[in-house]
Amino acid sequence: MSVIELGEYGADFTANPYPYYAKLREAGPVHEVRMPDGFQFWLVVGHEEGRAALADPRLAKSPSVIGVRPPEEDIIGVHLLAADAPDHTRLRRLVTAEFTGRRVEGLRPRIERLTHELADAMEPAGRADLVDAYAFPLPITVICELLGVPAEDRDTFRRWSHELVVPTGERGIQEALEGFGGYLDELIEDKRCAGPADDLLSGLIAARAEDGDRLSGPELRAMAYLLLIAGHETTVNLISNTVRNLLTHPEQLAALRADPDLLDGAIEESLRYDGPVETGTFRFTREDVTLGGREIPAGQSVLVGIGALDRDPARFPDPDRFDIRRDTRGHLAFGHGIHYCLGAPLARLEGRIALRTLLDRFPDLALDPEGAPWEWLPGLLMRGVRALPVRW
């Protein structure tokens, strides 16, 4: 089979990649593809094959298996998304001991207050960009408070974080990495000097396993870096994508307003139908691997198309229909296997509270017909729009 040129799909692919994924899937669940810059890799678009790939230890997350050292490693360190067992097992055990369900549930009252404060600020104008006024400030405030980051530094974090998930160029990436690295080193040192506190970063500094193991300075920096980025960028798009999906499917919005018990279904169906993560991060073949009938040699890059997997009709009947009553069990929006998203419970909690408050406070919420056309986030990683103009 020939290599698929993704660049030939044009801007339509960024705005709505799902028809293209469907056409690829009809030809097979795994394809060799090439980006416009010439970078070549293997793309998985079938649900069964993608789920298997996400849990296959032959597909490493550390690029060191193909002899590559990522640019952030010297500045930030090795974080969970770029680590494999046994290193990943050790790091995840130390962080999950602090990032507990109890800690997440304890955030509920604060999240509820924040959503109402944001709604209070929005209400008088009658219209807003939902991303800037609501979907961004909620998760960035929550994750920064959780980690103990001062409020005055959050806009800087937003700029750095956005550059790393939707990069504008190599110079911007380098500046963001250096900014993060230097800031987090200072923050960790300040917290060491200040002594025990209730925030998660202080907990990670103090955390010790039964055998006395603890996170080193570079490991703390890398963990804080990952939690800050993954802890808000994905949730911004979870909130805005869910609202966008409901506003563009008014019969589903009406059903939710009539039956608030459908709230969880709305969140889960939005995660499946048009979730915040379009593809996972790269995996690398340690050895020759057969996947979906294709022979992938050792040393190759593999990308699992999360959005494509969750529109596979073999797993979800009529997958292009947005239905908040659907049985969404088996969706892979948070991944699968040892790299299943650590922050999934927090993202779900924020999404549910954010949506409930928005619907309660703005009963006539609608897309703003005078708003600018949607500008979709570029690249394959994140799925969402830069702004979502709404009115009430």
Cα gap 342→264, rounded to integer Å:
19
Q: What is the model's pLDDT at position 78?
A: 87
Q: Collect all residues with Cβ–Cβ distance below 8 Å to 305 and sequence separation of at least 6.
A: 21, 43, 44, 45, 50, 278, 279
pLDDT of the residue at 155: 82
pLDDT of residue 1: 72
> What amino acid occupies position 200?
L
Largest distance between two CA atoms of the chain: 61
Backbone angles phi, psi at 8, to 5 degrees: -70, -15
What was the pLDDT predicted at 198?
85
What is the chain's length?
392
Question: What pLDDT score was predicted for residue 165?
Answer: 78
pLDDT for 195 equals: 76
- For the chain, list residues with pLDDT below 50: none
Phi first, then psi, for residue 42 (nearest 5°) are -105, 130
Q: What is the pLDDT of residue 233?
A: 86
The full set of domain ranges for the chain reads 4-391
> How far, in Å, CA of 336 to CA of 180, rounded?
28
Show the CA angle centred on residue 304, arms to residues 314 and 16, nearest 5°. Answer: 75
Q: What is the pLDDT of residue 372?
A: 94
Q: What stretches of 35-153 show up as alpha helix (H) in DSSP?
A: 47-54, 72-75, 87-96, 101-105, 108-122, 130, 137-147
Per-position b or e across 154-186, b if 16+ CB within 10 A of its CB: beebbebbbbbbbeeeeebbeebbebbbebbee
The predicted structure's pLDDT at residue 162: 80
Which residues have C-beta within 8 Å of that of residue 79, sequence separation ≥ 6?
91, 222, 223, 225, 226
Of 143, 148, 231, whose CA–CA distance to 183 is shortest? 148
Q: Is 370 helix (H, G, I), strand (E, B) or coil?
A: coil
Q: Residue 60: what pLDDT?
A: 97
Q: Is the pTM of this model over 0.85?
A: yes
Unique residue bearing structure tokens 């400030």: 137
Q: What is the pLDDT of residues 188-205, one digit of tens each?
A: 998 888 877 888 989 999
Q: Which two tokens stand for residue 268?
A: 């889960």
For 4-391, CATH gives 1.10.630.10
- H helices of the chain, in order, are 11-15, 18-27, 47-54, 72-75, 87-96, 101-105, 108-122, 130, 137-147, 154-165, 170-194, 200-206, 217-230, 233-247, 250-258, 263-274, 306-309, 344-361
pLDDT, residue 158, reads: 81
What is the reported pLDDT for 157? 82
pLDDT at residue 312 in the model: 98
pLDDT of residue 149: 85
